[in-house]
Amino acid sequence: MSSLERDTVEMRIPCEPRFLSVVRLAVSGAAARAGLGISEVDDLKVATSEACTNVIEHAYPEGSAACGPIGIRMVVREGELRVEVEDQGVGFDPKRLPKVEPEERVMEEGGLGIYLMHNLMDEVKIESAPGSGTKVVLVKRAAR
C-alpha cells in the first residue's frame, strides 16, 4: 500500500440532501486528522457541502431517480486536506460557468456556491465535460 493510499479516506453517499450532514461529519474528522484548525474545518465543511449540493441539484437534470452516488475522496496530509467530489452526471464545460461576482449575485436566491468554494479554499479545480461527469477538487491548508 502506497503512502497516498494509506492517507486516503473514500466514501460514497446517495444523491440526496439528507446525507449532506454525513459528508460534513466525515470531512470534519479528516480535517482534524490533517491538523487543520477550527475555522479551516468550518470552511471545508461549507465548500464540500456546496460541491455535493451542486451534484444533487444540477448533475442529473432528468430527476433524482437517475441520480447516481456521489463519490468523496479525502487525502489527508500533515497540514493539508484535499477533498475530491465526483459524479457521473451530465457534466458541463467549465469554461461556460458564469463568472460570479457577489455584488451582482448577492440579491439572487442561488448561485453563490461556487463563489463560496473559491473564497473559502486555497485551491479549487473543476474537471468536467458534457456527458462525462464532474470532479471538483478542493484543497485547504493550515494557516501558517
Partner 1 sequence: MKTKKTPLGSEGALFALYGELDAFTGPPLREELGEAVEQGARFLVLDMSQVEYMDSVGLGIIVGAVKRTREQQGNLAVVGPQANVLRVFEVSGTKDLLNVVRTLEEAKGRLKGLQIDDVEGQ
- The residue within the footprint of partner 1, chosen from 10, 12, 37, 39 (CB under 8 A), is 39
CB nearer to partner 1: pick between 34 and 52: 52
- Contact present, 56 and 15 (Cβ < 8 Å): yes
CB nearer to partner 1: pick between 39 and 132: 39
**Nearest approach, Cβ of residue 101 and partner 1 (Å):** 9
- Binding string, residues 93-132; x marks residues near partner 1 by CB under 8 A: ---------xx--xxxxxxxx-xx--xx------------
Return phi, psi of residue 108, to 5°. Answer: -95, 160
Among residues 48, 53, 43, the alpha carbon closest in space to that of 15 is found at 53
**Nearest approach, Cβ of residue 100 and partner 1 (Å):** 10
CB nearer to partner 1: pick between 97 and 129: 97
By CB under 8 A, what part of segment 6-35 binds partner 1? 16-18, 20-21, 24
**Nearest approach, Cβ of residue 47 and partner 1 (Å):** 9
User: Which parts of this chain interact with partner 1 (CB under 8 A)?
Assistant: 16-18, 20-21, 24, 39, 42-43, 45-46, 49-50, 53, 56-57, 102-103, 106-113, 115-116, 119-120
